[in-house]
Amino acid sequence: MYSTVEAAEILRLSRIEVFRKIKSRKIKAEKVGRNYVIAHDDLIEALGKVVGSSKREKIEKAVKKAVKEYRNTFKKFAEE
């Protein structure tokens, strides 16, 4: 677990910007007393080095939808 100060240093952001990202739910954090802590996996996801499971599911759903809706178009592109 990382404090907002530690997360700010790692992400190269100001502490205020980390708070903004927490409030906008761009960074997942838990409130402990008056402070927020950020799990290691959530911090790595915020760095953009890995795709979290929830984002992976959204991406897979979007791909399946695109394939379903544009299957014929994709086939035509593949033929060209």
Domain membership of residue 32 as a residue range: 1-49
What pLDDT is recorded for position 51?
Answer: 60
What pLDDT is recorded for position 49?
Answer: 61
Q: Structurally, how many domains does the chain consist of?
A: 2
CATH of the domain at 17: 1.10.10
How many angstroms from the chain centroid is the CA of residue 52? 6
Range 4-37 burial, b when 16+ CB lie within 10 A, else e: beebbeebebeeeebbebbeeeebbbeeeeeebb
Q: Are residues 45 and 56 in the same domain?
A: no
- Give kind and range of the element (H or E) at residue 58: helix 53-79
Which ranges of the chain have pLDDT less than 70?
Answer: 49-52
pTM of the full predicted structure? 0.60
Rounded Cα–Cα distance for residues 69 and 64 (Å) = 9
